[in-house]
Amino acid sequence: MKEKPFVFINVAASADGKISDESRKQVRISCKADMKRVDMLRATSDAVMVGIGTVLSDNPKLTVKAGDLIALRMKMGKSRQPLRVVVDSRCRIPLDAEVLSSEAETLIAVSQAADEEKVRLVAKKAEVVRLGKDKVDLLALMRHLRERGVEKLMVEGGATLNYAMLKEKLVDEVSIYYGSMIIGGNLSPTVVDGESFKIPLKLKLIEWKKLGEGLLARWKVIY
């Protein structure tokens, strides 16, 4: 059995590579055609993962929206919705977060740093796994997901989780939808934040096309 799922990052960025502005609140970058594509990507994935920063900023539901795509999943013998995964070392997730809704299963990955009592409360709404001492051990999480039957994992940000996943060499592909806009701001999160890579990561362009009013590009990551 493989050690980890096939992992791809999917984000929407402005032409200048920002995924939000300095308020870190959600900025509408995608167009209708891109949102349809994202729904399809979720529908064909076994799990969809975000960092706690994204949950706190955007409060996403992370579910497949289109009824025909849900039907397609079920025809393929999959669950109605992909598993939702949140990387949240200290278990900061609000108990009323949309990602804890009953529409889909959710797994919260925490570390030893998480408060026992908060974990107990969250565990009433989601599966909680403790992996790692301070931060969540991402390689251990990938192994856990693979053992749980996740073969294809979609990572939907944000900037910090994207960086950590790439740094740990856990990402196979990166897809970026560039909306036709400039956000600017040196404090605005970008596709990949964290520290710069001493040697830039190499990518191989697999696909690029006009989509709606923007541009979609997909790369394979070469480690």
Ligand X SMILES: NC(=O)c1ccc[n+]([C@@H]2O[C@H](COP(=O)([O-])OP(=O)(O)OC[C@H]3O[C@@H](n4cnc5c(N)ncnc54)[C@H](OP(=O)(O)O)[C@@H]3O)[C@@H](O)[C@H]2O)c1
Enumerate binding residues for ligand X (CB under 6 A). 11-12, 19-20, 24, 26, 29, 50-54, 57-58, 87-90, 92, 135-136, 138, 156-161, 164, 189, 193
Which residue type is seen at 28?
A: R
CB nearer to ligand X: give 89 or 106: 89
Rounded to a whole number of angstroms, the minimum distance from the CB of residue 194 to ligand X is 8
Between 41 and 136, CB nearer to ligand X: 136
> Are the CB atoms for 189 and 158 separated by under 8 Å?
yes
- Which residue, 83 or 166, has its beta carbon nearer to ligand X? 166
Smallest separation, CB 205 to ligand X (Å): 20
| Closer residue to ligand X (CB): 24 or 84 | 24
In whole angstroms, give the CA distance from residue 139 to residue 154: 15
- What whole-number distance in Å separates Cα of residue 213 and Cα of residue 57? 26
Least distance (Å) between residue 172 CB and ligand X:
18
Alpha carbon of 220 to those of 3, 12, 138, 146: distances in Å?
19, 17, 20, 20
CB of 75 to ligand X, least distance (A): 29
DSSP-assigned states of every residue in 148-188? TT--EEEE---HHHHHHHHHTT--SEEEEEEES-----TTS
